[in-house]
Amino acid sequence: MGSPRSKVEAAHRELSSLITSARLACGTTQAQLGLEIGRDQTFISKLESKERRLGVIEFVQITNALKADRTSILNAVARALADES
């Protein structure tokens, strides 16, 4: 069984991947998304490259900007926490 830390890391990787996929599906650049939420491109880049974790307020801002299904993303992250071994 994986450690709690490895489960959290897996969940963060999943969240980052899902946010990146949602952004790309919208045809939005990192710079455009950053502008939409009042941040710069490097903020989005660090989120997507897993150098920075995403807070709940930022998550809501990003999913709103991308019109992404927040519930589906959170369910996938929850599965990553439960399934990682």
Tens digits of residue pLDDT in 25-36: 999 999 999 999
* pTM metric for this prediction: 0.88
**What fold characterizes domain 4-83?**
434 Repressor (Amino-terminal Domain) (1.10.260)
- CB atoms inside a 10 Å sphere around CB 53: 12
All structural domains of the chain with their residue ranges: 4-83
pLDDT, tens digit, for every residue of 29-78? Answer: 999 999 999 999 999 999 999 999 999 999 999 999 999 999 999 999 99
Check residue 34 and give its pLDDT: 98
| Residue 23 three-state SS | helix
